[in-house]
């Protein structure tokens, strides 16, 4: 019998997430997977001696250009590229593949998807970030979901937070994204007047969200190419079956 194909759960998750942020006024922007060192690190205020630049964490790509190239380690470079193009105010999300030179296990892959969010305007506060993420998690996971912020550090946000989502089915908090208020240096690097504008940004792990929602136990299943995977996740939770 002919088997009918279906969308990959990562595609479904990205579409669901984009629809929710779309209702909150965020447009979708895509960016290059092969990035320059400038956009991946320097423009984001990541100093030259930061461990993330180490060859053990980043896939560097040989290039004939003067500038060094990397497989982007996060979707954050698109904060700069997009602001350079459109200026402020802006409200975008950026889904896409990212790459890290790290060992894989049940929750870590060397290639995975992130989804960046960026909102820049006058008078945006951390409360707007929390309200936006709270609404998003309730729409994505259900009304019982809630978010909590823990203090953290990213060179491109001040203050910075790790965001946990309360997952009622497992009765525990799960770390799903990094976020914060965009650092004034990042705004200036992108040509935006940081005295007039401010805003928030976040970067979430798409597979982590899909794993929680669809009950997928191991991140490596997403990319293994084993069609039995189709039977291994909870399709009642998807918007597209
Ligand atoms: C922070 C502040 C901002 O203003 C904007 C974005 C960010 C996030 C930052 N760029 C970043 O990449 N943070 S992170 O290294 O903690 O990754 C964000 C999320 O990606 C994690 O919370 C996790 O959900 C996911 N992630 C990270 N490494 C992963 C991974 N998912 C699968 N495999 C890995 N190896």
Asked if residue 156 lies in contact with residue 79, where contact means CB atoms within 8 angstroms, the answer is yes
Q: Which atom of ligand 1 is nearest to the CA of 157?
A: 4
Cα Rg for the chain, rounded, in angstroms?
18
Our answer on whether the CB atom of 109 is closer than 6 Å to any ligand 1 atom is: yes
Tell me the pLDDT band of 16, cut-offs 50, 70 and 90. Answer: very high
Which residues have a Cβ under 8 Å from the Cβ of 142 and sit 6 or more positions away? Answer: 168
Pairwise pLDDT comparison (10 vs 232), residue with the higher score: 10
Beta strands in 122-210 (DSSP E): 147-154, 157-167, 172-182, 198-205
Ligand 1 pocket check for 176: Cβ under 6 Å: yes
Residue 106 Cα to ligand 1 middle (Å): 16
Q: How confident is the model at residue 228 (pLDDT cuts 50, 70, 90)?
A: confident
Q: In this structure, what token pair is assigned to residue 87?
A: 């200026």
| Contact between residue 193 and residue 210 where contact means Cβ atoms under 8 Å apart | no
Q: CATH for 9-132+195-233?
A: 3.30.930.10
What separation in angstroms does the CA of 132 have from each of 16, 88, 129, 137, 163?
Answer: 15, 19, 5, 9, 12
* Exposed/middle/buried for residue 2 (C-beta within 10 Å: 0-12, 13-18, 19+): exposed
Sequence-separated (6 or more) residues with CB below 8 Å from residue 62: 69
How much is the pTM? Answer: 0.94
Distance 179 CA to ligand 1 centre (A): 9
Q: Encode pLDDT of 111-126 as tens digits.
A: 999 999 999 999 999 9
């Amino acid at each position: 019998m002919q088997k009918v194909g279906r969308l990959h759960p990562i595609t479904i998750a990205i579409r669901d997430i984009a629809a929710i942020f779309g209702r909150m006024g965020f447009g979708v922007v895509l960016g290059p997977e092969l990035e320059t060192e400038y956009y991946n690190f320097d423009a984001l205020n990541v100093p030259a001696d930061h461990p993330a630049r180490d060859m053990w964490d980043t896939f560097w790509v040989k290039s004939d250009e003067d500038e060094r190239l990397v497989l982007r380690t996060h979707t954050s470079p698109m904060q700069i590229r997009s602001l350079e193009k459109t200026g402020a105010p802006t409200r975008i999300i950026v889904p896409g593949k990212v790459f890290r030179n790290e060992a894989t296990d049940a929750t870590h892959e060397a290639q995975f998807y992130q989804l960046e969010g960026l909102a820049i305007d006058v008078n945006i506060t951390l409360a707007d970030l929390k309200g936006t993420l709270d609404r998003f998690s309730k729409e994505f996971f259900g009304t019982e979901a809630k978010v909590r912020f823990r203090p953290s550090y990213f060179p491109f946000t001040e203050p910075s937070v790790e965001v946990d989502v309360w997952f009622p089915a497992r009765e525990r908090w799960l770390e799903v994204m990094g976020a914060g208020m965009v650092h004034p240096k990042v705004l200036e690097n992108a040509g935006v007047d940081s005295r007039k504008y401010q805003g928030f940004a976040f970067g979430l792990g798409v597979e982590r969200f899909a794993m929680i929602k669809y009950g997928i136990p191991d991140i490596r299943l997403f990319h293994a190419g084993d069609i039995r995977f189709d039977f291994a996740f909870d399709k009642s939770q998807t918007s597209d079956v």
